[in-house]
């Protein structure tokens, strides 16, 4: 009795019925239970017995009363036979399921070997992979599957290893029935009996030739990547490094074993050109990204890299990693910065030289005008005065009553009057006083009247009221218009021309157009061709306009007239010639 008290019910129940015993203890909480259980007696024999279980309410708490009723020897034997049959049937069903499973597998060769290495079973997968049918190969040594170089020793060594260690795994070349070779993954497992001796071997084989080719291709690609000096990095979905080529080590200083498994942007302290969230969205949408990054090397040096990312996805389209190629462009950036600084310095020099040339252009224009004024002053103050004095002297001679003298005096007087008129006109032409006093609009109105009177050319003026211009601009535009109108008279074969003056967006636009014979603007560069007079204008005036920040546009064609458009900035930095203007005003 002492051997029983205090022990669990399951300790006396056959292991196969332990779960039924546990269910009994649970169900009896609600109601009395009757069922059969198989017990194990002190000698280990199985003893089936009917069980009645009830819940008892005792002073120290609830307890379960289990009553086992013994069976007669016949009942006991019958129960044991029935139970044995059920277990045998379950075993047969299990073996049948396993057989169907093994025979139905076609991607794996699964077969059994006896202790001597002879084939004793053969599934459909073995026939598909190796080519032999079961009838052809069962009873044959499995050494037939090995290439000649190892067939004599390798099979037996593998069986010995499996027998000694329980199993053997390997990859290597094997042979099919047709003599072709394939790369196989092999597992041999020793199956032992109750006494521990090896009864047979189970061998599972898979054709992994394609995988081996893929692995070799990957190794070749990896070898090629190792030859590239660019940093090539592969990172997984968590941005941790899973590949680090020698170029990456050369670029960043980290060895592969130091970089592998590290978060790439933490390792390199990446500085992005924009937020990493924006880049992540772009990568997800496009599958790639390109840009420039700043990284920190192992030695603490900051470097600039041109980075290209390509997303790796699985069959479902889920992102599983990123291939990143980085090229160190630190030196290129330094050179670009040097070039930029050199360009800025050159541009500054060009600006300074342009300002100098503009000042020279203005100075040249003012110098020409000063010379015109000087000549006009000489004509007005000296030559005209001499002619007037000569006229007074001739008037004295006119008192002579002789007819011949009177006639001579009259002719001399007429010549003197013509000379005075011509000198006055020439004085106005050289330096129109109205231009200097009234500005460009007044100067053009005077010149339009002069052209009609002197050259019989009708000038249609259309001018906006404009702000006062610098003297240089007034003179340059006036001289340009005069030159163009005189060329119209000489070359255009027309009696009318239109001149318009407009100001808009900081520019002064002066247009001279006619409906004359026109010319080919391409011929302006060829001396002696039609348009030669315009050629002289474009060479001289356009250069001055350009130096002052302006330009000339020409639109003309034979038989379609001509149109010249002059653009000049309204605001000009002519402080360098301001002194010359002041000096000129005193001439």
Provide the pLDDT for residue 75.
54
- The residue from 47, 70, 93 where one domain ends is 70
Mean pLDDT of the chain: 80
Q: Is residue 221 part of a domain?
A: no
Residues 572 and 427 in one domain: no
For residue 501, which of 492, 510, 493 has the smallest C-alpha distance?
510
- Tell me how far apart the alpha carbons of residues 260 and 309 are, in angstroms, rounded to a whole number: 18
Residues 446 and 579 in one domain: yes
What is the arithmetic mean of pLDDT over 69-75? 54
Q: Is residue 533 part of a domain?
A: yes
Residues 459 and 344 in one domain: no
| The two structure tokens encoding residue 308 | 């290209």
Considering only residues 399 and 514, tell me which one the structure prediction assigns the higher pLDDT: 514
Are the beta carbons of 174 and 182 closer than 8 angstroms? yes
**Digit-coded pLDDT (tens) for 251-268:** 999 999 999 999 999 999
Residues 441 and 423 in one domain: no
**Digit-coded pLDDT (tens) for 151-161:** 999 999 999 99
| pLDDT confidence bin for 579, thresholds 50/70/90 | very low
Q: Classify residue 556 by burial, with Cβ atoms within 10 Å: 0-12, 13-18, 19+.
A: buried
**Digit-coded pLDDT (tens) for 414-469:** 776 667 666 666 665 666 778 878 888 998 999 899 889 888 999 999 988 887 88
Q: Is residue 555 part of a domain?
A: yes
- The residue from 212, 244, 273 where one domain ends is 212
What is the arithmetic mean of pLDDT over 498-518? 90
Q: Is residue 557 part of a domain?
A: yes
**Digit-coded pLDDT (tens) for 323-377:** 999 999 999 999 999 999 999 998 888 877 777 666 666 666 666 666 666 666 6
Domain count, the chain: 5
Residues 502 and 557 in one domain: yes
Question: What count of Cα atoms within 13 Å lies in the side-chain half-sphere of residue 439?
Answer: 10
Considering only residues 206 and 221, tell me which one the structure prediction assigns the higher pLDDT: 206
**Digit-coded pLDDT (tens) for 163-186:** 999 999 999 999 999 999 999 999
What is the arithmetic mean of pLDDT over 537-541? 57
What is the arithmetic mean of pLDDT over 6-10? 73
Residues 448 and 553 in one domain: yes
| Lowest-pLDDT choice from 213-217, 281-285, 541-545, 557-561 | 541-545
- The residue from 301, 320, 339 where one domain ends is 320
User: Where are the alpha helices (H) located in 132-172, listed in sequence order?
Assistant: 134-137, 154-165
Residues 406 and 547 in one domain: no
- Tell me how far apart the alpha carbons of residues 239 and 85 are, in angstroms, rounded to a whole number: 60
Evaluate if residue 536 carries a pLDDT over 60.
Answer: no
Evaluate if residue 46 carries a pLDDT over 70.
Answer: yes
**Digit-coded pLDDT (tens) for 479-497:** 888 888 988 888 888 999 9
Q: Is residue 97 part of a domain?
A: no
Q: Is residue 346 part of a domain?
A: yes
3-class SS of residue 353 = helix
Identify the CATH number of the domain in which residue 525 sits: 3.30.565.10
Residues 442 and 584 in one domain: yes
Residues 567 and 443 in one domain: yes
What is the arithmetic mean of pLDDT over 194-207? 91
Provide the pLDDT for residue 577.
37
**Digit-coded pLDDT (tens) for 375-401:** 666 555 656 666 666 666 666 666 666
Taking only Cα atoms into account, the Rg of the chain, rounded to an integer number of angstroms, comes to 57
Q: Is residue 218 part of a domain?
A: no
Residues 119 and 189 in one domain: yes
Q: Is residue 85 part of a domain?
A: no
Provide the pLDDT for residue 112.
92
Q: Which domain holds residue 514?
A: 437-587
Evaluate if residue 527 carries a pLDDT over 50.
Answer: no
Name beta bridge partners: 236. Answer: 321
Evaluate if residue 528 carries a pLDDT over 50.
Answer: no
Residues 335 and 315 in one domain: no
Identify the CATH number of the domain in which residue 147 sits: 3.30.450.20
Residues 283 and 338 in one domain: no
Provide the pLDDT for residue 492.
87
E strand or H helix that includes residue 233: strand 231-236
* Residue 248: other Cβ atoms inside 10 A: 25
**Digit-coded pLDDT (tens) for 120-136:** 999 989 999 999 999 99
Provide the pLDDT for residue 372.
63
Provide the pLDDT for residue 338.
92
What is the arithmetic mean of pLDDT over 266-280? 91
Provide the pLDDT for residue 80.
59
Provide the pLDDT for residue 88.
65
- Strands 496-504, 458-463: pairing is parallel
User: Percentage of residues in the chain with pLDDT exceeding 70?
Assistant: 72
Provide the pLDDT for residue 581.
41
| pLDDT confidence bin for 148, thresholds 50/70/90 | very high
């Amino acid at each position: 009795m002492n051997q029983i008290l205090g022990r669990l019910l399951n300790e006396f129940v056959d292991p196969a019925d332990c779960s039924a015993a546990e269910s009994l203890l649970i169900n009896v909480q609600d109601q009395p239970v009757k069922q059969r259980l198989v017990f194990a007696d002190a000698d280990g024999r199985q003893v089936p017995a009917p069980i009645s279980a009830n819940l008892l309410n005792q002073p120290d708490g609830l307890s379960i009363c289990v009553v086992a009723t013994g069976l007669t020897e016949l009942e006991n034997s019958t129960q044991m036979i029935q139970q044995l049959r059920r277990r045998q049937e379950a075993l047969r069903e299990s073996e049948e399921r396993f057989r169907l499973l093994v025979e139905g597998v076609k991607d794996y060769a699964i077969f059994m070997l006896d202790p001597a290495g002879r084939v004793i079973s053969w599934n459909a997968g073995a026939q598909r992979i190796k080519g032999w049918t079961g009838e052809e190969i069962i009873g044959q040594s499995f050494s037939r599957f090995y290439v000649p170089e190892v067939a004599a020793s390798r099979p037996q060594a593998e069986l010995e290893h499996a027998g000694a260690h329980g199993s053997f795994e390997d990859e290597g070349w094997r042979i099919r029935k047709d003599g072709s070779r394939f790369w196989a993954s092999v597992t041999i497992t020793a199956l032992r009996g109750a006494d521990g001796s090896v009864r047979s071997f189970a061998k599972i084989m898979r054709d992994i030739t394609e995988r081996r080719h893929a692995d070799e291709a990957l190794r070749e690609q990896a070898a090629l990547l190792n030859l590239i000096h660019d940093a090539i990095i592969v990172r997984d979905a968590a941005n941790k490094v899973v590949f680090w080529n020698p170029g990456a080590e050369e670029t960043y200083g980290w060895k592969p074993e130091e970089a592998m498994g590290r978060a790439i942007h933490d390792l390199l302290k990446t500085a992005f050109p924009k937020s990493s969230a924006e880049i992540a969205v772009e990568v997800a949408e496009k599958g790639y990204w390109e840009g420039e990054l700043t990284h920190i090397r192992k030695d603490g040096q900051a470097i600039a890299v041109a980075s290209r990312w390509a997303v790796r996805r699985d069959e479902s389209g889920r992102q599983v990693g990123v291939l990143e190629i980085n090229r160190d462009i630190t030196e290129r950036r330094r050179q670009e910065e040097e070039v930029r600084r050199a360009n800025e310095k050159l541009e500054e020099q060009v600006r300074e030289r342009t300002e100098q040339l503009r000042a020279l252009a203005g100075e040249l224009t003012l110098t020409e005008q000063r010379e015109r004024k000087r000549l006009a002053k000489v004509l007005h103050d000296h030559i005209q005065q001499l002619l007037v004095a000569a006229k007074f002297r001739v008037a004295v001679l006119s008192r002579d009553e002789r007819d011949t003298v009177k006639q001579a005096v009259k002719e001399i007087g007429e010549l003197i009057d013509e000379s005075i008129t011509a000198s006055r006109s020439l004085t106005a032409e050289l330096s129109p006083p109205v231009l200097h006093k009234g500005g460009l609009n007044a100067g053009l109105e005077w010149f339009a009247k002069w052209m009609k009177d002197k050259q019989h050319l009708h000038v249609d003026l259309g001018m906006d009221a404009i702000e006062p211009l610098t003297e240089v601009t007034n003179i340059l535009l006036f001289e340009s218009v005069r030159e163009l109108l005189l060329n119209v008279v000489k070359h255009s074969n027309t009696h009318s021309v239109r001149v318009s003056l407009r100001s808009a967006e900081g520019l002064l636009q002066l247009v001279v157009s006619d409906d004359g014979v026109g010319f080919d603007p391409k011929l302006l560069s060829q001396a002696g061709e039609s348009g030669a007079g315009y050629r002289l204008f474009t060479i001289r005036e356009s250069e001055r306009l350009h130096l002052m920040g302006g330009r000339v546009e020409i639109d003309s064609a034979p038989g379609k007239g001509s149109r010249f458009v002059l653009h000049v900035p309204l605001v000009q930095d002519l402080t360098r010639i301001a002194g010359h203007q002041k000096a000129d005003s005193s001439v």
